[in-house]
Amino acid sequence: MAMEQRQRRRPLTRQEQLALQERKQRRREKMEESRELARGPIDVTFCLLVLLLTAIGLVMLLSASFPSAYYEEKPSHHDPLYYFERQAVFAVLGTAVMFLVSKFNYQRLRGAGKALIYVSVILLILVIIPHNPIAVTVKGATRWLRIGIQFQPSEIAKAAVVIYFADSISKKKDKMRTFHYGVLPYAFILVVIGGLGFLVWEELAERKPLGRMSVYTRLVLSTTGALLLAGWVLTCLLEWNNPDTLGNMPVWEKLLNGLFQSVTLRTAGFAAVDQGKLTEGGKAVSMIIMLIGGSSGSTAGGLKTVTFVVLVLFIWARLRGRSTVCAFRRTIPASQVLDAMTIAMAMLILAMFGAVFICATSPVGFTNALFEAISALATVGLTADTTLRLSVPAQYLIILYMYFGRVGILTISLGFLAGDRAAERFRYAQTSLLIG
């Protein structure tokens, strides 16, 4: 059997050896620096704040649970300190674990960020697969997996997101001061989440299949996705060649800023491009998105997504000659359709009145004035470079509009404008009109 000849490596030159030694030395210095950072001194101020909040939480727990624990037979057996003592034990153990973890070199987790994200996504998908034998359902909510032990994939996902974001930010630390890298990606995620609303969050947290979610949640998710996509596409089309906004950017920056414009108009109020230099079409799209806003129970203002989609469904039903409005095989009550129409008409009337008033009292064009009024009513906070040119009466109107938009038109009408309900017992004779 013939022996294969191994190729001998070329011996390194003096310069190559020195360069290799320098690289190794820099690598060792970075590792040592990371160890020192991980083993650094305890932040006394931060530690004291954590302990103070923990103590306040224990005191509040004692105040809230003392009577119930005293009168309960199980599990406290008339021990008024039962819940307080248990929570105090957990607080002490948690504090001890916190100090132990603080000595761990977290730099070793750098390379695990992506892997943990992939694992988390797979585990979360396993939770929502119907009839999955390893998924555990309790009281209609499927949140756990049983693979030898029972655990919640969402807890793994929380840690994975923190590690991945930290690693991502550290790798782009030189670019984090820029708006495109340091603000846009993270603001995008937070704005979308904030615009969904607490009711939707609750259902999403329960890991229900999409078909088992409420009609409201399905309408919110579908409408939000459609509005984000439509706003992105229209903004890019209208502003693609505008040198004052997207025109002079690379293609990827145009797409990114167009998407961010569609997102921020929902409620955030961040400006990636100069709103005053948008085209007339771009301003029109922006005003429509602002007027629609986010969802009920969220941080956003505006008509709300479900109100908008109910109006669209109503128009579609009437054009087809139907008297009922349906969504996902469910009939929407006529009273809620009337509420949606009332809110929409009130918002439109207020926006038009505000625009006319601003034009009459300030040196501002109608389009910019309407942009200002809608932004205030929807509590977005963007301006087409006109706020500084508003007169004092117009500024007071904007303040009033921001209050109306945050409280809600329907809430204000019920609280201040609703008359005596007894008047509804009297009805006038009906008449017929020509409509359309």
pLDDT-derived band at 103 (thresholds 50, 70, 90) equals confident
Cα–Cα distance between 347 and 302 in angstroms, integer?
Answer: 8
Residue 311 has pLDDT above 60, yes or no: yes
The percentage of the chain sitting over the pLDDT mark of 70, rounded to a whole number, equals 80
Q: What is the pLDDT of residue 2?
A: 43
Q: What is the pLDDT of residue 3?
A: 43
Cα–Cα distance between 67 and 164 in angstroms, integer?
Answer: 44
Q: What is the pLDDT of residue 4?
A: 45
Q: What is the biggest distance separating any 2 CA atoms in the chain, rounded to whole angstroms?
A: 111
pLDDT-derived band at 351 (thresholds 50, 70, 90) equals very high
Mean per-residue pLDDT for 141-158? 81
Beta strands in 34-122 (DSSP E): none
Tens digit of each residue's pLDDT (9 = 90 or more) over 220-249: 888 888 888 998 999 999 999 998 888 888
C-beta separation of 169 from 110 below 8 A: no
Amino acid, single-letter form, for residue 408? G
- pTM (two decimals): 0.58
Could you give phi then psi for residue 298, rounded to 5 degrees?
-110, -175
C-beta separation of 227 from 289 below 8 A: yes
Return the H-helix or E-strand segment holding 243.
none
| Strand arrangement of the beta sheet that strand 149-151 belongs to | 135-138, 141-147, 149-151
Return the H-helix or E-strand segment holding 149.
strand 149-151
DSSP character string of 341-400? HHHHHHHHHHHHHHHHHHHHHSS--HHHHHHHHHHHHTT----SS-GGG--HHHHHHHHH
If one compares 399 and 189, the residue with the highest pLDDT of the two is 399
C-beta separation of 123 from 156 below 8 A: yes
pLDDT-derived band at 129 (thresholds 50, 70, 90) equals confident
Q: What is the pLDDT of residue 415?
A: 54
Mean per-residue pLDDT for 207-222? 78
Mean per-residue pLDDT for 298-302? 75
Residue 340 has pLDDT above 50, yes or no: yes
Cα–Cα distance between 353 and 371 in angstroms, integer?
Answer: 12
